[in-house]
Amino acid sequence: MSLQSIINPSDVKIVSASALEVKGKTLIFGNTLYQISNIAILELIDLTETYAVRVPELLWIVLVIIAIFTAASSFQELQRLGFLIILVIGFIFLIYPRTRVREKYGLAIYTNAGTKTAISSSDSVFIKKAIIALYEVINSEVTNRNVYINFDNRTISENKSISIGTNIGSSVVSGTVGGDVASMIN
């Protein structure tokens, strides 16, 4: 999978945060606060790592020495065992992976000030869901949204509770209401 990225992943500061939280107009993770209006780009970036796997040299040296001594032996059974060991070593050498891949992705946050930060996760589908949830917060007319995105449990939740202050005995309209409430009553 090749992801076209606006942000160069090598320029991004990778942060290992377990959760993002939106409280009102602020995005919070770890010890970092971002004002929602200052977020310029939210992007899924590919942080997949490929690294070389070293074969234990001592193991190979011991096996090759054993194979040579048994193949050069005067006993037929030991010669067969030596050739069998050589075949097994050759087969292992052919199928043993020389590189391993660790799939990792990031939710990159690019601010108007040029700050580039990413939260890493191995689940690209969840990061896409988190980007959509943050998109909805950024483009929402409601300014007091409380959204919690947990990368460990891969959950997105929103606190939709309302708090009523001193207006006891008055009408309460909860939820997202658009337009004029009085014009909706017949």
Asked if residue 58 is part of any domain, the answer here is: yes
79, 71 in Cβ contact below 8 A? yes
My answer on whether 63 and 110 are in the same domain is: no
Nearest alpha carbon to residue 52 among 98, 116, 4: 98
Its domain, for residue 85, covers 54-96
Looking at residue 184, its pLDDT comes to 52
Please report whether residue 165 resides in a domain: no
Q: Which residue type occupies 144?
A: N
- DSSP character for 15? E
Q: How far is CA 13 from the centre of its chain?
A: 14
pTM reported for the whole predicted model:
0.63
Query: What confidence score (pLDDT) does residue 2 get?
Result: 45
- Same domain for 112 and 87, yes or no, is no
Query: Which residues is 117 bridged to in the sheet?
Result: 13, 109
Both 112 and 152 in a single domain?
yes
What single DSSP character describes residue 182?
G
Residue 147, in any domain of the structure = yes
**Residue with tokens 């942000």, as numbered in its chain:** 7
What is the block-wise mean pLDDT of the chain (186 residues), using blocks of 10 residues? 54 82 87 87 88 72 76 75 77 74 88 87 91 89 85 87 62 60 53
Q: Are residues 88 and 129 in the same domain?
A: no
Distances (CA, A) of 31 to 18, 21, 154: 12, 12, 21
Residue 131, pLDDT score: 92
Please tell me the total count of domains within the chain: 2
pLDDT of 183 reads: 54
Tell me, yes or no, whether 183 lies in a domain: no
Q: Compute the half-sphere exposure of residue 77: CA atoms within 13 Å on the CB side of its CA.
A: 0
